[in-house]
């Protein structure tokens, strides 16, 4: 049943070990961005409007039962930076360790257990009607496949969470506003009419190379995959008003989901280290705000985002939007990580001075195609729900205030910068390591 309008009950997942994981000096994925986000949330006082949880690590058996190949999960459990030679055959097979994108690093499997556990826990809370919105900024690893890592993703926490939601919810909508196509999630549910995927992403000579308008689903899922392939430089107004809002409204009318999973990859922001779009923090948050306005139980996840000071900005602001505090001060409060936000020390981003290569006719044609695709569906599929499977055991609630206060005063320093060549000119406050 739809939620009542008004104040939403919001849960928030954070584990103090997550930001300590290190993919490597040259790798663009910096989990330290979670620490920056968390400290902004604390220093803006947003945690007072959240119920805060430490997630339970996902059980390997659940990973393979819900989605992943068991041999692949066992490989991820065993592989370490020191024993690669013993697993040489599987390194290429599973695309882990043999490429720069998906390295083997210390604590790899434990990190994925925590990020996945938080997404599953959030899904369980929504299924039990404990909360209206569950937030896990550490999740959103949308490129992971059944038996293959890809694009910095090893375990697909999104698919695991959606499978959990499907135990109770007849239809689940997945929305992806990352700059990259949500290929792993689309692939997992490509033949299902119970999960609709809606991805807006850069397309054309860009990872992962999928996500054209022609990818619409197959068999029972024909028409249930929607893709918005974008060009460089799209702005807030065009993205939201001309694409996201009209298509999302039609999805809600035709598909009528009873739960939503929203992947908020921050690499669609202006000035991202890997991204090519031109959204501002306020523009990115418009999607979050609009999804929230529909009053459907929603799991909100992170994703990409490689200019880490901007990742923290937008995820903090989106947390504020979710707890009905969209007017928080643009001046960032002084705190341990204040210098990351130099030189402006402001929460909000302005768009970059770049050309928008998305013509009005291209956007109009895409919107028309997607609305026509939705119109062709036979309406919301009916699902006979006979026996609901048992929900994944949820982590018990921690003493949130105590944990948060301890973390607020913890002295966790970012690694020192190394001198060397940079893959892209970095801001002096970015503090990620250079390439040796």
Residues designated as active site: 143
Helices (H), 219-359: 236-237, 245-254, 281-293, 308-322
How many whole angstroms from its chain centre is CA 276? 18
153-176 as b/e: b if 16+ CB within 10 A: bbbbbbbbbbbbbbbbbbbbbbbb
Q: What is the DSSP string of 287-318?
A: HHHHHHHT---EEEE-----SHHHHHHHHHHH
Distance separating alpha carbons of residues 382 and 259, to the nearest angstrom:
15
Q: What is the DSSP string of 162-226?
A: HHHHTTT-S-EEEEE-SSS--HHHHHHTTT-SSEEEEEEEE-SSSTT----TT----GGGTT-EE
Distance separating alpha carbons of residues 255 and 172, to the nearest angstrom:
9
Locate tokens 């949308």: which residue?
Answer: 142
Long-range contacts: 338-343, Cβ < 8 Å, 24+?
339/429, 340/36, 340/308, 340/309, 340/312, 340/429, 340/430, 340/431, 341/309, 341/313, 341/429, 342/427, 342/428, 342/429, 343/429
Q: Please give the helix or strand (H or E) that residue 11 lies within, else none.
A: strand 10-13
Q: Please give the helix or strand (H or E) that residue 228 lies within, else none.
A: strand 225-230
Distance separating alpha carbons of residues 71 and 14, to the nearest angstrom:
29
């Amino acid at each position: 049943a739809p939620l009542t309008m008004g104040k939403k009950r919001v849960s928030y997942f954070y584990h103090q070990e997550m930001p300590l994981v290190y993919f490597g000096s040259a790798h663009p994925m910096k989990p330290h961005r979670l620490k920056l986000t968390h400290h902004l949330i604390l220093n803006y006082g947003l945690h007072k409007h959240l119920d805060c949880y430490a997630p339970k690590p996902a059980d390997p058996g659940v990973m393979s039962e819900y989605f992943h190949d068991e041999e692949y999960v066992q490989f991820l459990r065993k592989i370490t930076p020191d024993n690669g030679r013993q697993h040489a055959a599987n390194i290429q097979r599973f695309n882990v360790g043999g490429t720069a994108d998906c390295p083997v690093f210390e604590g790899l499997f434990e990190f994925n257990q925590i990020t996945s556990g938080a997404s599953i826990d959030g899904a369980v809370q929504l299924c039990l009607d404990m909360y209206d919105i569950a937030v896990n900024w550490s999740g959103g690893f949308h490129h992971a496949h059944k038996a293959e890592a890809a694009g910095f993703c090893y375990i697909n926490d999104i698919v695991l969470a959606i499978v959990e939601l499907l135990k109770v919810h007849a239809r689940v909508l997945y929305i992806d506003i990352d700059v990259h196509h949500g290929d792993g999630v689309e692939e997992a549910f490509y033949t299902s009419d119970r999960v609709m995927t809606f991805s807006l992403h850069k397309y054309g000579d860009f990872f992962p190379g999928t996500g054209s308008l022609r990818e619409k689903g197959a068999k029972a899922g024909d028409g249930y995959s929607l893709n918005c392939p974008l060009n460089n430089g799209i702005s807030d107004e065009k993205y939201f008003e001309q694409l996201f809002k009209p298509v999302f409204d039609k999805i809600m009318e035709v598909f009528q989901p009873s739960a939503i999973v929203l992947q908020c990859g921050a690499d669609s922001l202006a000035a991202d280290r890997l991204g090519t779009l031109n959204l501002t923090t306020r523009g990115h948050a418009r999607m979050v705000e609009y999804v929230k306005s529909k009053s459907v139980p929603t799991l909100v996840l992170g994703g990409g985002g490689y200019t880490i000071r901007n990742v923290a900005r937008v995820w903090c602001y989106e947390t504020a939007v979710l707890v009905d505090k969209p007017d928080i001060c643009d001046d960032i409060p002084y705190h341990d990580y204040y210098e990351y936000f130099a030189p402006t020390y402001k929460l909000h981003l302005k768009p970059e001075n770049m050309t928008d290569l998305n013509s009005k006719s291209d956007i109009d044609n895409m919107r028309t195609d997607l609305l026509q695709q939705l119109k062709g569906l036979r309406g919301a599929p009916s699902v006979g729900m006979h026996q609901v499977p048992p929900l994944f055991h949820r982590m018990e609630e921690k003493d949130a205030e105590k944990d948060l206060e301890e973390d607020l005063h913890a002295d966790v320093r970012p690694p020192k910068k190394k001198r060397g060549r940079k893959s892209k000119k970095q801001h002096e406050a970015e503090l990620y390591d250079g390439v040796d």
